[in-house]
Every structure is written in structure tokens, then in C-alpha cells.
Structure 1
Amino acid sequence: MKFAFEDIVKITGGNVQGSWVGAGNEICSVVFDTRKLWSAETSSTLFVALKGVRDGHTFLGEAYRAGVRMFLVSRYESQWMSQFPGALFLVVAHTLVALQQWAAWHRKQLTGVVVGITGSNGKTIVKEWLGTLFKGDFSMGKSPRSYNSQLGVALSLLDIPLGTQLSLLEVGISGSGDMASLQEMVQPNLAVITHLGEAHAEGFSSMEEKAKCKVALAAGSDVVVYPYDLEVVRTEVSKLKSRNVLMKTIHWGWQEGAQFRITEVEVLAAGDFSASVASSNPFSAAGGQRIYFVHRGTSHQLDIPFMDSASVSNAMSCLCVLQALERWDPEHLGRFMKLPHLENRLQFAAGKSGNYILNDSYSADLESLGVALDMLKRQSPNLSLLSILGSFEQTGMDASALRDSILRMLSNYGVTEAIFVGEEYRGLVGGDFGLEKVWQFDTVSALMDSAVLSGIASRSILIKGSRSAGLERVANRLQARLHQTRLEINLHALKNNYLYFKQRVGAGKKVMCMVKAFGYGSGSFESARALQALAVDYLGVAYIDEGIALRNAGITVPIMVMNVDSGAAWQLQEYGLEPVVYSFQSLEGLIHSGVQGLKIHIEIDTGMHRLGFAPGDMGELGLRIRDLSVDIEVASVFSHLAASESEGSDDFTGGQLDVFASAAVVLEQGLGYTVLKHIENTGGILRFADARFTMVRLGIGLYGVDPRGVIEVALQPVTRWVSTISQVQLVKAGEGVGYGMHGVSDRDREIAVIAAGYADGLWRADGQANSGVWIKGVEAPFVGNICMDMAMVDVTGLNCKPGDEVELFGENLRVETLAQRRSTIPYEVLTAVSQRVARVYVEE
């Protein structure tokens, strides 16, 4: 960046005060936050006094003492001449507007291609991926991080040098009035609309209005790239093209009519990639996807090293940009396998006093606030919503407008209480926006010293603020556990797995998801909430208290309860739970309870010999239920496959299926009506396509595990168990490690102590090199015996240090692998993780 001060005077039409000599003052950096002055050469820095949540004019003295001598201000006070000798002040009506005028002027001087990227999701990923794909082809400039606001876009533009051949700029909006000024600044030659979703939809009256505002970025563009399947976007692009007939459109999608039409997406195992690809991108070790598509009647394919559907969308957007810039060739297609993995996750964890915590205490802008509130609203249990907000970054809005925008957004998402941390929030009143309670504290320390946090109970809490706000201290205070070991549950992966099986079972077949045993160790409520959002047909639990807990958490999906005592019949009725009946005795218990209106599920023993009616009882049972004087309805009939995952037991499984089909027919004849029928579990779904009946029961497959013990590449691991290194010690040759001093070696070793033991879910049998942990791209073996709270691993040569993260199982060290080593099944590995291990829920 290098600008002449006198040019900025002309561009903005401002009035100069102070030591103005008319020429010779160069601006090489722009700073609006005095905390960032350390990174700038202050003698050539322009400090912009924004009137946002904090009035930048109050920091002029601090900036001056740091060496700044040029200021963009919206007011001038006569005493500043003597207070700040040698300083220049450019006085304008509105500093943000002046900055945007400057940015728009600079944009007109850029002769290269400017790409503007907007959409509800995927902007940052598409921008960064395009940077990788075009590396070496052009001189490039990119907006840093997620600088996509009114202020962020202006700063991004000013940082792009003249002569830059390709500029990649994110553009984010959270309301209908935001795009006009952004478009005037960016004026993209090529506009990219990535996606149109529900994120921060509260700022728009309809999806049609939201699409219109996003597409407005492309006004005056030469090319617009967009997803063809989104009809509202397609309609707005058509309207825009009717006004600009020379504009070129490039689009992708699944529907007929898309220029780049996807026909199939194939999941690839790591072994499907070449050795050169695997070495160039470590994420390909987990597999990837091959996108088959048709363009102008010719079939093509594109490989990407990611397993999620969002990456398919983002990759196709990038492919269209390659086409627009004439870089669609084998070399550039190969670069897709080198695309970086970008972390973009929100974490949701249990807190003290019945609270749930969504911790996003490292960033704060209006757009990401909308994303976080959207997750809080969708994923929180049936609790009141509370937000704890700190200072916001690079919004460029004045304090009053920003506060109103925040309050309005909180209210629209159903937040009833809010705590604001920062002097800029003084005098805040939330009543006009429907908030019931509002607290304000000048500092985090003041909040921590108050009694407010200790009084928060049974709330879903969003904690959000810029990294400098220090709100992580608040998150630590509210968290239920601070144990260094945690179990991450990826709700995005869980949804992916559900949709995979839903597609596999076919149209018209219902799916019951089993969330018993604490959701196979993953947390029942959180899994149920995610599934309910996907319109799952049924949930299954083991015991009535699990079902009651789900109802209390706001789950409304039908719930089948596997084990019920007839004495709890009134609770079944009160909470709308549906019991399994497996014997005449269990049926009579429900009848004699006097409870009316129950739906029940009939279990048949077809050969597993655990629970269930004999197949020959179905005729009598059907008649008995039909003739009851109490109101009891059979919702389904089902059985259990004993060995569906075992190819060697297929004859036995086939016999079970035949017995079940015949028995179900007899039961329905006796009842006089048809019922849902289900026998397939995860193994059955994967292996017996002709035995779906009318519903299937999805269990461990939902969590990304194939019960056959193989790695099913289409499934994404939902759970990732991680811990940290507490200490690294040098152990001399000939010395043992841990209790019993086992693991003696003839060489010196670096031994890391990790903060997990058999009280957390490791097995003592894992010790003495029988298993290990994943760290720094390799598996490090356990040394010596596993202790109750600690374990030791050999990390020689890995350059490990205290605080480094280790994976106990997850994407790299799979649950299936641990099960084989322990001579057990994946179910036991998952459910063995202790309840003292904090569960952290992750949403991509």
C-alpha cells in the first residue's frame, strides 16, 4: 500500500487541519485499532477514527504516542493543534464512508481481474481454494481472513497493489441494505455466488429478497458464477442478465440445464489416490470424493480430498471460475487434490448448572453472529437462550446502529437474555427488542467478579467476542469440565451418515435411529436434535428414562422404548413414548395399568433368542389385541438380526428374514390392519438390499462405524477422542516406564505422558505397544502399562512438546482398528469412553 495524502484529500473532499504542507506525506498502512499499531510503520500510518462500538476519536492520543501523525477523523477540536504537534487531520463527515470512497477510487485503478465472492456459506473456503488453484498463474491479492464487512472490504481493497493481476474478495451481507455500498466498492469483473442457505436469514424478509441482494453484487460484472439448482438465485440472475445482455453466466448443479451438471459423486478410499497425491495432501489419507459431471455433452471427473457434500459445492464453484479464466486443464484439475483443509467449526458443550455452551469466543462480526445464533437455535436443548457478547471487529458501523443490529438479531433468533462486555455497551436497553434481561459490564474481570455467572442455570448460552475481548475465561468458568481429554462429536458427520443410509434404503422406507446407551457414547440429546432437524421418522432408546430425557429436551419425534416396566405405563402416556411388547406378560401389564391411547411395538424372536414372542404366537396375539377393551394400537412389528454383518451366517440370516416376513403377515391378519415392519440393523442395511420391509433401524452406522469391522469410506467418523501431552521426558536406554517398569529399550527415548488413562476409557490391554495414539501424522505406541489417569507413548524424533494434541481414536486411528486390536466390537470401544470425558459438539 502506498498512497499520497493529498490524493486522499481530493478523493474524500475532506478538510485538512494541522501541519499541512501540501505534499510529501505518504500513507503505507491504514489502522483503525491502536492495538494493531505494533505491526505498522507508524510514521507512514493513517489512523482512522471510526465511530463504531467505540469512538475512535478517544484513541487519538494513544495512536499519536505510538508515532502516528496522520489521522482520518469526523470531527476536529482546536486544542488538538497543540496537543498533537506535527499531526495532520483529514476531517470528513463520516470516516467509514470516506474510507469506502477511497477504496472505490483505488478499485478503479486496478487493471487486473477482480473476483467478488458472496453467499451464505463457503465464501472463505472458495476464496482460499481459488488462491491455491491459481498459484503461480497470476500475481494475486486476497482479502485477509473473513474481512467481508463494510469496513473489511474497504481495507482489503486498499491493501491490493496496483498491477495485481487477480484479486479475490469476500463480500458478506447480513441485511437487505448492505450490498449497494459493497458492490460500488468491489465492482467485480467476475461475481461468484457460492450458496444460499438459512444462515443469517433473519435480516431479510424472504429468501427471494436474500437472493436479490446477493446477486446484486454481479451488477455490471462480465461473468457471474452461481449454483443452478437454487431457483431463487437462478431467477435473479436471469433478471440481471436481461438488463446486461453481454454478461456471461456459468453455473453448476445436479439438475438438467446446468452447464456443469453433476451426474454422480463417488466416495474414494485413500488407496484410490496415487502415492504422489497422498504425499502432497495428508487429508487424502481419510479418502475423498470423485465428482462425475457433464459439460457440453462430454463426461468429465474431478477428484477432491474431502468427504463432505459442502466441499463438492465449493469445488464446483471453483471449477466454474477456472472455466471463466481459461484455466480448466489437467494441470489445474490436479491441483484440487492439494486444496487446503480450513477449520471452520463451532463447538457446543455441556456446562455447569444444566447449561449448554456454544463457545465462539475468538471472533465477532455480524455475519458470524448470525451463523452462531442459527446453530444455537437449532441445536440447543429445550432451554431459554442467552448470549454473552464482547467487542465486535471491523464492522465500521457507529455504536448506535451496531447495538441496534445486534439486539435485533438476538431477538429474531429467540434470545431472551444477554450479557454485554465492553464500555461501548453502556446504557444499553434491550426492552425495545423483546429481550427480557440485559446486563452490561465494562470488562471481563468485572463480569467474572459479579454474581451473574453463578446465577445462570438451564440456559443455552452463546459466548462470542473478538479474541482480544478475553471471553474464553467466561467459557472456562461456565464449562462443566476442564479435563484435558475430550470427545468431539461432529454433528455434520452424523448428518452426512444419516443421509447416506437414508439414500441407501430407498424412497418410501422409514428410518428409526437408535440413540440408546448415551448415543453410543456420543450424547443422546445432541444426536437426537440433529436428527430431528433432518425429519427422522423414529428414534429408539433402551429405557424409559432416556426417552423422558429426550422429551424434556424438546424432542418431538416418535420414540420407541426397548425395555419398559408396566408400572411405568402412566409415564409412557404422559411423555408420548411407545413401548416394546415382547411377551403376553408384558402386554397384560400394560392392559391392567388402565392407560389408554398407547402405541406399542411387537418384538418377535426369529432366532436370536434374547427377547420376543415366538413366531407361532402371532395369530393369537393379533386377535388378543384386536379384541381389547382398552385403546392400544400396534405401531410396528420387528425382530433382531443376530449376525447380519457376517457373510458366513447368511443362511441363518435368510431364515430369520423368512420367519419374520411370515409372522408379520399373520399378526396383521389378526389385527385387521397393517403396521410398520423392521428387522434390518446397520449390518443388514449394508448387506441385504431386498429386506428393507417398511422401516430400518440405524444404529452404529449413524456414528460412522461399519459393524463388519471394515472401513466404509462413505461413512464419516462422528466421534474423535483427543487428549494432550502433559510432559515429555528423556528415558535412558535400559530403563522401564510406569508401573512395573515395563517397556525397557536398548535406546534412549522421548516419552510423552498424555492426560488419559483407563478411568477415561483406555484399556490396560492397550499398553506395552499393543496400541497407540495418533500424533504429528504418525501412530506413536503406548509404552509400559496404562495408568488410571495417564498413559505414556514413545514420541522419539517427533519433536513433541507439552500441550500438543493427540488423537486416541477418530479420523486417523479408527474405532474399527481399536476394536480389532482389543478383540471386541466397535460398540464397546465407543461406549467405554467415560462420562468424565467432556463431550464437545462440533458443527462445521
Structure 2
Amino acid sequence: MRVTATVTALQQLAASVRSGFDIPVIGITGSNGKTIVKEWLYQLLKDRFSIVRSPGSYNSQIGVPLSVWKMNDQHTLGIFEAGISEPGEMESLERIIRPTVGIFTNIGEAHNQGFLNSRQKINEKLQLFRHAEVLIYCKDYYELNEAIQLFSQTVRKSSDKPLQLISWSQKTEAALQILSIRKEQGRTEIEGLFQDRKVSVQIPFVDAASVENAINCWCYMLYAAIPDEEIADGMALLKPIAMRLEIRQGDNNTIVINDAYNSDLTSLQIALDTLQQQNMTAQTVILSDMLQTGRAEVALYSELSEILQKRGIRRFIGIGNALTHYSHLFDANKDLQKYFFRDTADFLRHFKDFVFENEAVLLKGSRSFAFEKISLLLEQRIHQTVMTVNLSAMVQNLQVFRRRLKPGTRTMVMVKASSYGSGGHEVARVLEQSGVDYLTVAYADEGVALRKAGIELPIMVMSPSIDAFDRMILWRLEPELFNMRSLTHFVAVAENIGVKDYPVHIKLDTGMHRLGFMESDLDELTAYLDKCSCLRIASVFSHLAAADDQAHRAFTQQQAGLFQRMCGKLSDALGYRPLMHLCNTAGIVQYPEYHFDMVRLGLGLYGIDSSGSLNNQLRQISALKTVIAQIKEVDAGETIGYSRKGKVDRHKRIATICIGYADGYPRALSRGNAYVMISNKPAPLIGIIAMDMCMVDITDIDQVQEGDEVIIFGDALPIQQLADWAGTIPYEIMTGISQRVKRVYINETQ
């Protein structure tokens, strides 16, 4: 049967599957924590129920129906998460999930794009619970509590069964009133009052997000009348959830893809896609037994063998009793190097027998196999300071700008300076997969590195050296030509090599006065171009000097007028019309009338909008984190750091953290107004920032320990704030992060 709307058909089929089962179903939504709450509920309830749940973070318009489709007659409980990006989407997901119990984890700034405000976002998410019997949520989110109260009194008022609200709060009366939260030695003890009796649990985490997620799970366990002792035992054994696939640099020129979260064929296919996008000639898959799939093992591992063969995987390391027992099922694949071990410890004993170099390695295993031990051996140990780059957030930012373009307008994306410090080929590869039209680098060497990494998109080089023109032609890089000197040199090289119609880009100076042909140069330029058969003008462009400042709007309009006039003269002389592009990130937002044929997206892709118009829609894609090396008690009258600049006026606790100006943390922040975030609280810098270390005041932050995470910038501390403190711009902060800082690439499944 052929359908016209494939997603709609998939959703209708999944809704039909769901209608055939009369079992409890938990539906989870919220800004953050959905997957963790789902997975922790699974850990807590798997001995009582046969559970079907969303794989990974399958919470989208496609992910939800694929999740619900897994329901079968053996299941006695369903746990599904639902996420939306714009109004109207939750109604479709509600028809598929039909939860009997709902959990609204929290409300925050995540995924605000597509909604007028947070209230609209809450109301849209609440549509998931139109037919639920119970809703669990935290009463301390004021706007969320207000919206839920109104929802239960209006939308659900006419229902046969009124919605039962089970709230929890640290501040006021609630179904579960939190009396105390005590953190000690990596664990948190939580005491509460539920139905006039005191209850308590202990969890092996201390961060605020884990505490919140655990309490949401606790509320469900209490509602379900699970015995207190069983709840306490389960909560004490909660395991961390590796939420996202991570791409890390390994030793010996390897790329390590760490998806050691769960193991099933659906998520394996997604991970294999990422593995094969790395453009490495050799690929190794390290996989554990696939637990609790509900399938016969012979069929499961036979299909796995076929998948590896179709994907062309050359080396496979299977870990677990089941894989070892069924190792013969992989014999049909004669090209596969295969090795099997009973458990992770057995493999680690033989680790030295394997050589991992010049390849991509996928780690995919169930949590019980502790694949993090393998990851530690494979990953490159550079520094305790790490910058994470969220590639999924970057794609979301790209879509924010694409929605502002007219159909047919092309997109050129800046990936110069290693994608503003975020990583060259890693970012470029995702952009290529996302369908951008052009990439732009500053120098030829950057473009060559992208070509060597397998990037096939057209690449413009903005500051080409005349000595690199022959190399650029060899690597299919397209130069920006900005004066007669660069033009004549390139023509000489092109004619010597013998190329015809080679694409180049002509830069016009319309007021920036940095690089480019002036209007007075056009006659000489067109006369010269008329004699050149080796070139084809792919585009003509200029750069707006002040698109982000409305005080200079008249000047920007003057630039645009001059640009159009100069482009007209060039096109008339050439006999054809090259692509025209003028707008940078700020111009895309502020001047839609000047989008022309193509726009150039730069800083906005990375989550920063200098115009200030889109900051509530963009996600900062990078986070810089380090750790505490040492904590000291320092008495009043002592000083901290070089030149004794850090004065201690009272007894203080001082933490030394593993970052300094050699990592790109500006020494200018030593002026006394900057801070880092530790345990979600600001820790002010004290003293002078050194090359590799700096010190912060943690006197007023409880339960801080050596080894704790420190956020330099990220969601809780925007990079714009650091730039303001340092008296500079976000570009300088981003591009200044040292290469000794390890980059970790995150790819979420939203």
C-alpha cells in the first residue's frame, strides 16, 4: 500500500498497535531528564514487570511510534518519553502513547524555539496527559504548577475521571513533601513526608539534576504502593545513564564512538551510521550481549551477523556469554575478523594483544558490562579540561536560520579557525549531512584538511595565499579573489595547470574596507575577466560592516545598494549572473530583503546571535569544563596566587582548578568580576590566572570535593558573559580554546 504522508501513516499504525493493549503506560515529558527518569524507572521496576520502553531518546514524531510499535503480549508495563519542538505535535504523540500515568520532569529553557513563551510550551506538553489518570510533577516550578492546576480544572474537568495530581516540593506542602536533602561522600540522602508518614531514600549521586530525577521516580514508586524497603534498595543501586553518543579522539589516530548505554539492534544501526560517517578506512565494533530484547538469541545474533556483513565491518569484538556461545553464527562472514570474550574483564586481560590505530572504534554495550573501562584505555588522555560540542544543537541552530530564508536561498557556513574552535571536519561532516551548500575556511590548509577528512562540499577559501593556488586547484578549493594581484596570480597558475571554468569568488568592498575590489576597480576587473577562459565566477559577495547595530542601518542599506549596483555591472560584463551573497549571521536576522541568492552563516550556527533577536531560540553548542585539583583552607590575611593579588579577608575555602591561560582561559578574567560554576553555584575567581591553573573561592558552596566538575562556560554560564568580563567578543573566546583541550562531540537523539 502506497501512502502520501509516511509519518502520519506510521503514527496511525502505532496508535492502532497501542489500542490493542490494556496495560499501565507511563508517559514522560518535560524540558530535561526524560530519558534518565525513563531508564531509572526501568531499573527500579524491571523485576516486577515485563517492560517495553523507548530505546535511547526516541521521543520524536518518528521515535515515539517506533517505540510503541515494540509492544507485545508479554509486556505488562510501558514507559515512553515524548518530546516536541513546536505546537500541535503532542496531540499526535498522545494518541500513540495514551499514558495512564504521566510524569512532567521539569520546565526550562531547553527547546524553546518554536514556542511563543514557556507557558505555551508547558500547555503544549500537557496535551500528553489529556486522558491520563495520574500526573506526577514538581510543585516548585511556579509556572508549571500554575499551568497544571489550570489544566486539571479546565481541560480535564469534563472527564469521567478527574486527573489525580501527585506533586512533590522542597518548599511547600505537597503529596511528597521533601524535608531534607543531605549530601555526603558522593551520595545523597533524601527524607520526605508522604501520606503522614516519614519516608527516606539514598541515591549514589549528588548533583541537583540527579536528585530531581530520582524524586520523580520516587513519586511513582510511592503512588504504585511499592514497599518502602524495596524502594530504598532500588534507589541505592541506581546506575548512571550515558545519555548521548560521544565521539572522542583516541590514541594512535583513532576515533572512539562511545555509545556504551544500551545494546539493541535499533540503536546499533544508528551508532553504525555514526561510525561510518567518520571516513576512516578501518572500523572496529566492540559489542556486548544484547540483554532483555525479548527476542530468541539465535535469531537476534544471526541478524547481527548479517548487519555487520552488510555494513562492511572488518573487525568485531563480541563480549558476553551469549555472543561467545553463538560465535559460530558469524562464521558465514569470511571477511570478518572476529574475537569473543566471556566478559569485559576477560577482554581487558587481552587488550594488549590488539592494535588500534588509524581507525574508528564503536563501543556499544549494556551498562552492566562496564564498557567505560575499555573507553578509558582507548581514549587519548590529553587534559582534565574538556570542551563538549553538541552537534545536534548545532543542527537545530542551522534550522532556526533556515526557517528565515525564502525557498531556494542557499546556505554557506563558516568553518574557519577549526569551526570557531569547535572542530573542523567533525562539524563540517554534520553540515554536509544536513544539506548546506557551501563551506568557508580562511586558509588553504584548513580546506585541504577537510578534503583529507572526506568532505566533498564546495569549499571557499577567504584568505588564500598566492603561493597556495596550485594546491587549492589540486584539492578542489575555490579561492576568494579580492584584488588584481590575487586575480592575475591565480589565472597564471590555472592556465599553467590547464584548467577551464574553474570556480572562483569575487569579493567586493562596499564599505568594510578590509579586502575587496572597489567600484572604481570594476572597469579593469571586467576587462581582464573578459579575456579569461580558465575562470568561472561562482559568486560575488561583500561583507556588511555593522549589520548587528541598528544605529548603522542607513550605512548597511547604503552598502547593499552599492553591492547591487556593482553586481549588476559585473553580470552585464560577464554575460551571466553569478550567485550574490551579502548577509552574515546578523544580516540574516536583520535584513531579510538582502538575502539574495545565498547567505553566510557564522557565529549563529554555534549558538550566538549578536543581533540579540534569536538568543531565546538558539542553543549554545559548546561547554568547557574542568575539575577541582585541590581544596585548601586559607586563613584571613593570607594571599592567593602570583604577585599576592588574591587578598583573603576572612577564613576561606579555596579550590585550585585545572585550567589556565594556556588553555584559552583569558588572563584578563583575573580582574575580580568573573566566576565559574560548581554545584550550580558561582565560585568567584581569586588571584591571578596562571598558565595551567587558577583558584576560585568555594567558601559559600557546600559539599564540594576534589575531583568535582567545574563549568567554565555552558548552559549555566553563557560564553557571552565570559567575553563581557574579559572585555572581548565571543569569537575570541571560542577560537582561543587551546588544542590541548580535548574535544568531545555529542550527538543526541531527540
TM interval, short-chain normalised = 0.7 to 0.9
| Corresponding position: 1:522 with 2:422 | yes
1:314-341 per-residue CA deviation (whole Å, 9 max, x = no partner) reads: x65x624424659898427599999978
Deviations 1:771-800 (A, max 9, x none): 110122222110111121111111113121
Correspondence 1:146-225 to 2 at 5 A: 155=47, 157=49, 169-170=52-53, 195-196=61-62, 214=69
Change (3 A) 1:674 1:153: farther
Task: Report if the CA contact (8 A) 1:382-1:552 is conserved.
Answer: no
Judging changes above 3 Å, is the alpha-carbon distance between structure 1 residues 193 and 736 closer, same or farther for their aligned structure 2 residues? closer
Q: Is the 8 A contact 1:290 1:302 kept in 2?
A: no
2:332 equivalent in structure 1 = 432
Q: How does 1:3-152 map to 2 (within 5 A)?
A: 114-115=24-25, 144-145=40-41
Equivalents in 2 of 1:670, 1:632: separation in Å?
14
The one-letter code matched in structure 1 to 2:49 is L
* 2:695 match: 792
Of structures 1 and 2, the larger Rg is shown by 1
| 1:37-96 superposed Cα distances (whole Å, 9 cap, x missing partner) | xxxxxxxxxxxxxxxxxxxxxxxxxxxxxxxxxxxxxxxxxxxxxxxxxxxxxxxxxxxx
Give 1:435 deviation, angstroms. 5.0
Q: CA deviation at 1:582?
A: 1.1
Residue 284 of structure 1: aligned partner: 108
Cα distance, 1:432 vs. partner?
2.4
- 2:383 pairs with 1:480: no
What's the CA shift string for 1:118-176, capped at 9, x where partnerless? xxxxx8989986999xxxxxxxxx885557xxxx9985526xxxxxxxxx852669xxx
Letter in 2 for 1:714: Q
User: In structure 1, how many angstroms separate the alpha carbons of the residues matched to 2:335 and 2:669?
Assistant: 53
Aligned to 1:393: 291
- Find out whether 1:715 has 2:607 as its counterpart: no
1:807 to 711, 722, 728: 711
Superposed displacement of residue 674, structure 1: 0.9
CA contact (8 A) 2:441 2:461 kept: yes
The alpha carbon displacement at 1:503 in A equals 0.9
The 3 A distance-change label for structure 1 pair 609 and 125 is closer
Alignment check: 8 A CA contact 2:55 2:267 kept: no
Q: 1:659 aligned to 2:546? A: no
The question of 1:505 aligning with 2:313 is answered no
In the TM superposition, what is the alpha-carbon distance from 1:392 to its structure 2 partner? 3.6
What corresponds to 2:317 in structure 1?
419
Give, in whole Å, the separation in 2 of the partners of 1:127 and 1:285. 9
TM-score w.r.t. structure 1 length? 0.65
Do the aligned partners of residues 156 and 288 (structure 1) sit closer, same or farther apart at CA in structure 2, a change above 3 Å counting? farther
Instruction: Decide whether the 8 Å contact of 1:678 with 1:692 is kept in 2.
Output: yes
Q: Distance in 2 between matches of 1:329 and 1:112?
A: 29
Following the alignment from structure 1 to structure 2, what is the Cα–Cα distance between the partners of residues 825 and 696? 22
Matched-pair contact (CA < 8 Å) for 1:349–1:841: yes
C-alpha separation between the residues in 1 aligned to 2:300 and 2:721?
51
Consecutive unaligned residues of structure 2, counting only runs of 5 or more, are 1-20, 96-103, 136-145, 153-164, 169-208, 214-240
RMSD: 4.3
Q: 1:361 to 1:795 in 2, by over 3 A?
A: same
Structure 1 position 640 matched with structure 2 position 543: yes
Higher relative contact order (CA 8 A, sep 6+): 2
How has the CA–CA distance of structure 1 residues 722 and 431 changed in structure 2, closer, same or farther, with 3 Å as cutoff? same
Amino acid paired to 1:436: L
Matched, 1:695 2:598: yes
- For residues 367 and 36 of structure 2, the distance between their equivalents in structure 1, rounded to whole angstroms, comes to 26
Distance 1:612 1:700, change over 3 A: same
Q: Does 1:302 align with 2:126?
A: no
**Change beyond 3 A, Cα 1:783–1:283:** farther
Describe the SS at the equivalent of 1:432. Answer: coil
Partners of 2:478 and 2:505 within 8 A in 1: yes
CA contact (8 A) 2:258 2:363 kept: yes
Contact 2:54–2:68 (CA under 8 A) maintained in structure 1 = no
Q: Which of 359, 362, 375 matches 1:459?
A: 359
Distance in 2 (CA, whole Å) between partners of 1:382 and 1:392 is 26
Please say if residues 391 and 747 of structure 2, whose CA atoms lie closer than 8 Å, have aligned partners that are also in contact. Answer: yes
The 3-state SS of whatever aligns with 1:785 is coil
Contact 1:347 1:843 in 2 (8 A): yes
Kindly state the Cα deviation for residue 826 of structure 1 after the two structures are TM-superposed.
0.8
What is the deviation of 1:749? Answer: 1.0
Query: Aligned to 1:319, which of 111, 118, 127?
Result: 127
Tell me which residue corresponds to 1:833. Answer: 737
Unaligned runs of 5+ in 1: 1-110, 118-122, 133-141, 159-167, 174-191, 200-209, 230-250, 262-279, 294-299, 305-311
2 CA distance for matches of 1:501 and 1:451?
47
**Structure 2: how far apart are the matches of 1:218 and 1:675?**
62
The whole-number CA distance in structure 1 between the counterparts of 2:670 and 2:109 is: 26
The reply to whether residue 605 of structure 1 matches residue 429 of structure 2 is no
Hey, what's the Cα distance between the residues in 2 that align with 1:468 and 1:220?
Answer: 22
Q: 1:592 aligns with which of 453, 475, 492?
A: 492
- The count of residues paired between Structure 1 and Structure 2 equals 620
Indicate if the aligned counterparts of 2:636 and 2:648 stay in contact, CA closer than 8 A.
yes
Q: Does 1:704 align with 2:607?
A: yes
Q: In the alignment, which residue of structure 2 is the partner of 1:364? A: 263
Specify the code of the residue in structure 2 equivalent to 1:498: L
Q: Identify the residue that residue 770 of structure 1 maps to in structure 2.
A: 673
For the residues of structure 2 that align with 1:414 and 1:663, how far apart are their CA atoms?
53
Instruction: Tell me if the contact between 2:30 and 2:105 (Cα under 8 Å) persists in the aligned partners.
Output: no
Q: 1:521 to 1:259 in 2, by over 3 A?
A: closer
Task: State the distance in 1 between where 2:461 and 2:720 align.
Answer: 28
Give the counterpart of 1:748 among 651, 658, 678. Answer: 651
Q: 1:568 aligns with which of 455, 468, 489?
A: 468
Kept after mapping to 2: 8 A contact 1:709/1:816 = no
1:709/1:129 Cα in 2 relative to 1: closer, same or farther (>3 Å)?
closer
After the TM superposition, which of the residue ranges 576-585 and 343-352 deviates more from structure 2?
343-352
| C-alpha displacement of 1:834 | 0.5
Whole-angstrom distance in 1 between the partners of 2:244 and 2:644 = 42
Offset, 1:626? 3.5
Please give the alpha-carbon distance, in whole angstroms, between the structure 2 residues aligned to 1:356 and 1:337: 45
Query: Aligned partners of 2:578 and 2:476: how far apart in 1?
Result: 18
1:559 aligns with 2:462: no
Conserved? CA contact 1:497–1:704, under 8 Å: yes
Letter in 1 for 2:120: L
Q: Distance in 1 between matches of 2:81 and 2:626?
A: 42
Residue 608 of structure 1 and its aligned partner are, at CA, apart by 1.7
Alignment-mate amino acid for residue 775 of structure 1? I
In 1, the alpha carbon distance for the partners of 2:414 and 2:316 equals: 36
Cα 1:194–1:620, aligned 2, differ >3 Å: closer, same or farther? Answer: closer
- What's the TM-score once normalised by structure 2's chain length? 0.73
Q: Secondary structure of the equivalent of 2:376?
A: helix
Judge conservation of contact 1:757–1:790 (CA < 8 Å) in 2: yes
Q: CA deviation at 1:291?
A: 4.3
Please give the secondary structure, in 2, of the residue aligned with 1:767. Answer: helix
Superposition deviation, residue 574 in structure 1:
3.0
- Measured after TM superposition, the shift of residue 218 of structure 1 is 11
Give the 3-state SS of the residue equivalent to 1:386 in structure 2: strand
Distance 1:565 1:419, change over 3 A: same
**Letter aligned with residue 503 of structure 1:** R
The answer on whether the counterparts of 1:429 and 1:438 sit within 8 Å (CA) in structure 2 is no
Q: Quick one: which amino acid aligns to residue 291 of structure 2?
A: E
| Whole-Å separation in 2 of the counterparts to 1:289 and 1:599 | 37
Counterpart contact for 1:757–1:791, Cα < 8 Å: yes
